[in-house]
Amino acid sequence: MFKWVMAALLLTAFSAYADVIHQERSLYRNILVEENGDLRCLKFDEKTRSSSQSCMYKSKPQKLVFNYTKLTFASLLMIDNPQNVLIIGLGGGSLSNVIHEL
């Protein structure tokens, strides 16, 4: 019984890993681009692979993945019809993509 439980856990763990579609060493970090189904993520640490810097849904690039990026749009409720938006740090460009769609 124990062997079956362990086998099921191992299969689940291995299926959770994403496919690395690009890997490159920059001056400061290791850069990884991984895909897991419809989700594509930019990561900087190949050892832990747990620190996503930016993610996007390939089928819906205008849909925000992270909660903090969704919360940034709450600031638009404070000003009626804003004319300009300043974004410092582009990251993966998810915020600018959504603002462009607005």
- pLDDT tens, per residue, the chain with 102 residues: 545 444 444 444 444 578 999 999 888 888 899 999 999 999 887 666 667 889 999 999 889 999 988 888 888 888 888 888 888 887 788 888 888 887
pTM of the model: 0.70
Which residues contact residue 31 at a Cβ distance below 8 angstroms, ignoring those fewer than 6 apart?
22, 23, 24, 25, 42, 43, 44
Residue 60 vs residues 4, 31, 37, 63, 64: alpha-carbon distances, Å: 38, 23, 13, 6, 9
Conformation bin of residue 81: beta by default, left when phi > 0, alpha when psi is -120 to 50: left
Helix H or strand E segment including 85? none
Distance, CA of 84 to CA of 59 (rounded, Å)? 28
